[in-house]
Amino acid sequence: MGQFRQLLTRAEENSEEMLFIGRAQSFIMQSRGLTSQEALLEVATRAARDQCELGAAARSIVANTSASPS
């Protein structure tokens, strides 16, 4: 939980990263029917798996979702 909190604290310092995190949360919530907390945990899990910051993980999720055909 400490690592997640550190990632979130660093992301809060950058409004653009927070925007992408919010967009990624929204995409995850809509596609999987999750709560906002569960969706944020998905973004954090992606960041941990990819060993990157929350903002980078969120950008990847948004890019992959935007590239998927509707």
Domains of the chain: 17-67 (1.10.10)
The reported pLDDT for the residue numbered 31 is 95
Predicted pLDDT of residue 1: 66
Per DSSP, 13 falls in state T
Alpha helical stretches, state H, 1-70: 2-12, 15-32, 36-50, 54-67
Considering only residues 64 and 7, tell me which one the structure prediction assigns the higher pLDDT: 64
- Residue 66 is predicted with a pLDDT of 75
pLDDT digits (tens, 9 = 90+) for 32-59: 999 999 999 999 999 999 999 899 999 9
The pTM (predicted TM-score) of the whole model is: 0.80
Please determine, for residue 4, whether its predicted confidence score (pLDDT) is greater than 80. no
